[in-house]
Amino acid sequence: MDDPFRRGIEEFNTQCFFEAHDTWEELWRETSGPERLFLQGLIQVAVGLYHRENGNLRGATSQLKKALEKLDRYLPVYHGIGTEELTTQVRECLRRLHTASGEMTSPVNSAFVPRIRVLEANG
């Protein structure tokens, strides 16, 4: 894949979260305006899921919440991806990271992993 944005989506969807973060961060450095904030939100989702994989539930929770604050500005679709669907999945992931009492649970108990759905061929 030549397009770094799409490559990041592919990495994300194959659960290569660290790689997706790196790919999008390169774009983020070259971007300004609304696209920059959007990319930062995607990066934070990837970092949050990476933290979750490594058992850092506090870091995962923090990054996923920050990501939602940004991505909620780009609903329901932005750059050809289903942002509303993604944010719903991130919220579900956060819910699964915590018990009903608010205590963090083991990442093993939180098998749900958000995916990015591409809604149009050209973004």
Instruction: Look up the CATH number of the domain holding residue 27.
Output: 1.10.3450.10
Domain count, the chain: 1
pLDDT in the model for residue 122: 46
Beta carbons of 7 and 42 less than 8 angstroms apart: no
DSSP run (H or E) holding 99 = none
In a domain, 115, yes or no: no
pLDDT in the model for residue 55: 85
In a domain, 116, yes or no: no
The segments of the chain whose pLDDT lies below 50 read 1, 100, 108-109, 122-123
Q: How many CB atoms lie within 10 A of CB 38?
A: 21
In a domain, 64, yes or no: yes
Beta carbons of 91 and 117 less than 8 angstroms apart: no
Sign of the alpha-carbon torsion through 112, 18, 4, 73:
positive
In a domain, 29, yes or no: yes
Digit-coded pLDDT (tens) for 9-28 = 999 999 999 999 999 999 99
pLDDT in the model for residue 105: 60
